[in-house]
Amino acid sequence: GENVEQHPSTLSVQEGDSAVIKCTYSDSASNYFPWYKQELGKRPQLIIDIRSNVGEKKDQRIAVTLNKTAKHFSLHITETQPEDSAVYFCADADDMRFGAGTRLTVKP
Amino acid sequence: DGGITQSPKYLFRKEGQNVTLSCEQNLNHDAMYWYRQDPGQGLRLIYYSQIVNDFQKGDIAEGYSVSREKKESFPLTVTSAQKNPTAFYLCATKRDGAYEQYFGPGTRLTVT
């Protein structure tokens, strides 16, 4: 089946630094790529998404880039804060497949 | 997200017993989904339903069954055939024609 690969699995940064998480997908027909933030024991919450008709989308400190040719997309968090600490998941929503997650820790 | 309820939040069962997890929504969304999440892993699709009285298997449907008799409800039964049922189960919904999925609060099932 089609897979979504996500890297890194863990990421530790200092408060104020940037964090980048990358995902690759297999299905060239896919068009919608959401990113979710999940805190311990809670439901995933959509934080940003991108559709294949754009290459980049930004929402305050969060941005997502998409390279359809290379079939990869990335989450960028700038000026990280301790409350950004969580597990982040990417997804190929058309295929209903998720990456394995990245545990982000932001150290004060 | 407040329009999706999963009950109970924690569920404990003995090995060999079937158990049914509830998912109810008042969002009037057509599509509903069941995912399983294991520690340190992403979500894996068990079953999904795009319309009442119809559902499809996901990647890991073995040992599970579902029904969709009403638009609002999509219960998941974990049968004794499921080898490793202990996990966090998430239900999600999506409006027809939209992209975004909305997740319920989840049920943590422990089978001993």
Residues of B in contact with A88 (CB under 8 A): none
* A1 has a pLDDT exceeding 60: no
Partners of residue A24 on adjacent β-strands? A5, A72
- Give yes or no for a cis peptide into B8 (omega within 30° of 0): yes
pLDDT tens readout for residues B61-96: 999 999 999 999 999 999 998 999 999 999 999 998
What distances in angstroms separate CA B19 from CA A64, B8, B39, B77, B78, one per listed residue? 40, 11, 21, 6, 5
- For A67, the 3-state DSSP assignment is strand
Q: Tell me how far apart the alpha carbons of residues B41 and A89 are, in angstroms, rounded to a whole number.
A: 10
* B3 has a pLDDT exceeding 60: yes
Q: Do B99 and A1 touch (CB under 8 A)?
A: no
Closest chain A residue to B10 measured between Cα atoms? Answer: A41
Which DSSP symbol is given to A60? Answer: T
pLDDT tens readout for residues A73-94: 999 999 999 999 999 999 998 8
Q: Do B59 and A97 touch (CB under 8 A)?
A: yes
Neighbours of A79 (CB within 10 A): 11
Contact between B14 and B110 (Cβ < 8 Å) = no
* B47 has a pLDDT exceeding 80: yes
* A67 has a pLDDT exceeding 80: yes
Q: Tell me how far apart the alpha carbons of residues B23 and A3 are, in angstroms, rounded to a whole number.
A: 27
Tokens linked to A98? 């998720």
- B108 to chain A nearest CA, in Å? 9
Give the percent of chain B with pLDDT over 90.
85
Q: Does the beta carbon of A44 lie under 8 angstroms from any beta carbon of chain B? A: yes
- What pLDDT shows up at residue A71? 94
* B1 has a pLDDT exceeding 60: no
Q: Do B104 and A89 touch (CB under 8 A)?
A: no
Binning pLDDT at 50, 70 and 90, where does residue B2 land?
low
Partners of residue B24 on adjacent β-strands? B5, B73
Closest chain A residue to B5 measured between Cα atoms? Answer: A43
The residue length of chain B stands at 112
Residues of B in contact with A6 (CB under 8 A): 42
| Sign of the alpha-carbon torsion through A44, A46, A48, A54 | positive
Contact between B35 and B92 (Cβ < 8 Å) = yes
Give me chain A's average pLDDT, please. 94
Residues of A in contact with B44 (CB under 8 A): 98
pLDDT tens readout for residues A41-59: 889 999 999 998 889 999 9
Give me chain B's average pLDDT, please. 94
A83 vs B40, which has greater pLDDT?
A: A83
- What pLDDT shows up at residue B41? 83
Q: Do B1 and A1 touch (CB under 8 A)?
A: no
